[in-house]
Amino acid sequence: MEQKLNIAKILKEKQKNHHITIKQIDTDDHPIHVLYIHGIVDIKQIQDSIILPLSEWEHREKAPLPHAFTAEPLLQLESEKEIDQHLLNGFTLLFERDAAYAVDSAQFAYRSVQEPVSEMTLRGSRDGFIESLELNIALLRVHLRSTDLKFEEFTLGTRSFTNVSIAYMEGMANEELLRDVRNSLNAVKEDYIPDGGVVEQLIERNNYSLFPEIQETERPTKVSSSLIEGRVAIFVEGSPSVLLAPTTLNALFQQADDYNFKWIPASLIRLMRYMAAFFAVMLPSVYISLISYHHGLIPTDLAMSIAKTREGVPIPSFMEALIMQMTIEVLREAGIRLPKPIGPAVSIVGAIVLGEAAVTAGIVSPLMVIVVSFAAICSFTIPDYALSLALRTISFVMLFAAAFLGIYGLILMIFIVSIHLIHLQSFSTPYLEPFAPIYVKRWKDSLIRFKLKKGGGRIE
């Protein structure tokens, strides 16, 4: 059935590698070789449950090796590629005559389960995914103990052999969606997969779109509730971010807290989040278009005070807004990259020195500082970072539209963005799903979140 493995040759090759430990256990008529990579295996486990039983084993001449172990599953390997892969995944290999077997003994170095930094919630579970695929799946099982929960394994990366798993609820996930996800994963031909974000970009369709087609989360509860909705989760070995497909704009605005608090305040907060996102995109550009094109639309008193604050500002309002927006982006990027102890220093320098001093020096008007920083704060309310990146990019484009065509340009830009969103699909699901095309039934969990049904129904 398969070509015979040349054990002697493989052993010779492996001996050259210093990290691979090879132990020989002599039996009466033939030796058994034990191979593992030091540092990624549990030495105690190998000692107790592999080497010890093997050396004490009495009937080894009569029965072949698979019968030697009872608790640990023993896999027979059939190719050199499999041997390498298992060795690298922390398995212990056993070579007996021409046969090779593998026992799972992996113990990679992982951090412990922590609360995800990028997705904070007030209420609800605080566990977050870590870098281990196996432990991540175990974390998911904590929240979703169902026999319908199914997993499928993939190996991505022709060189890195990264393990990727998809999870879905059988009977709830659409068969077509599953086929789509499987095909996309199988089509990946990259040689190295460093993280989930790379997988995301390799399987999404619209590479020129700013909007994320796949949602990324580090919270097991988010994954479990998405699976219940019929979505598919993609786990990538070595990555704490789990990918959820398909996604919609509406899903990207939802947060775990929305469901853990009573529905009226939760809905108000969600509505506010939508409005904040709108402000984050539109506020600076609306302000510019009002003061550079449509003075008439501003109430007279306000117009007077704006004119007073802009007195002595040497640059046009468009440049002023552009500079301020850029400064905010630079501060934000600096804040992310800096080590934690220095972080507050940057915000002090940014807020007080740049903001205060720039106004006092007459480079920018105080109202512009208010507008731009409020827009920046609004953008922090967007739960999904990829979406917030997209919206911030659009807010820059909006600035240009406002500078060229005022409010008219802004309205046209809103049209363009909505035309794009209408066209956009995430794994065949329209991005604006409950709104266009209209599914009135799903409006229950869109702009606002209706109350949970007590009769066993579930909001979708």
Residue ranges in contact with another protein by CB under 8 A:
293-294, 296-297, 299, 404-409, 411-412, 415-416, 418-419, 422-423, 425, 428, 430, 432, 435-438
> Do residues 204 and 214 lie in contact, with contact meaning Cβ atoms separated by under 8 Å?
yes
With respect to another protein, which residue has the nearer C-beta, 99 or 298?
A: 298
**Site of tokens 């704009």:** 249
The residue type at 9: K
> Do residues 218 and 118 lie in contact, with contact meaning Cβ atoms separated by under 8 Å?
yes
Q: Nearest distance from residue 277's CB to another protein, in Å?
A: 16
Q: Nearest distance from residue 43's CB to another protein, in Å?
A: 56
DSSP 8-class letter at 106: B
Which ranges constitute the DSSP H helices of 210-262? 220-228, 249-252, 256-260
Q: Nearest distance from residue 440's CB to another protein, in Å?
A: 10
Nearest to 180 by CA among 236, 218, 120, 234: 234
Which whole-number Å values give the CA distances from 404 to 312, 394, 407, in the listed order?
23, 15, 9
DSSP 8-class letter at 112: P
With respect to another protein, which residue has the nearer C-beta, 157 or 284?
A: 284
Q: Nearest distance from residue 394's CB to another protein, in Å?
A: 15
Q: Catalogue the E-assigned strands of 220-379.
A: 232-236, 242-245
Q: Nearest distance from residue 331's CB to another protein, in Å?
A: 29
With respect to another protein, which residue has the nearer C-beta, 35 or 403?
A: 403
With respect to another protein, which residue has the nearer C-beta, 377 or 419?
A: 419
DSSP 8-class letter at 102: E
With respect to another protein, which residue has the nearer C-beta, 268 or 411?
A: 411
With respect to another protein, which residue has the nearer C-beta, 352 or 438?
A: 438
Q: Nearest distance from residue 229's CB to another protein, in Å?
A: 20
Phi-psi region of 124 (alpha: psi -120 to 50; beta: other; left: phi over 0): left
Q: At what angle do helices 317-337 and 366-379 cross, to 10 degrees?
A: 40
With respect to another protein, which residue has the nearer C-beta, 151 or 439?
A: 439
With respect to another protein, which residue has the nearer C-beta, 238 or 366?
A: 366
With respect to another protein, which residue has the nearer C-beta, 249 or 387?
A: 249
> Do residues 426 and 246 lie in contact, with contact meaning Cβ atoms separated by under 8 Å?
yes
> Do residues 243 and 196 lie in contact, with contact meaning Cβ atoms separated by under 8 Å?
yes
With respect to another protein, which residue has the nearer C-beta, 171 or 437?
A: 437
What SS3 class is residue 233? Answer: strand
Alpha-carbon distance 282 to 276, whole Å? 10
What SS3 class is residue 132? Answer: coil
Q: How many CB atoms lie within 10 A of CB 387?
A: 21
Q: Nearest distance from residue 432's CB to another protein, in Å?
A: 7
What SS3 class is residue 361? Answer: coil
Q: Nearest distance from residue 407's CB to another protein, in Å?
A: 6
Tokens of 1: 């059935």
Task: Give me the sheet containing 74-77, strands edge to edge.
Answer: 20-26, 31-37, 91-96, 99-104, 74-77
Q: Nearest distance from residue 378's CB to another protein, in Å?
A: 17
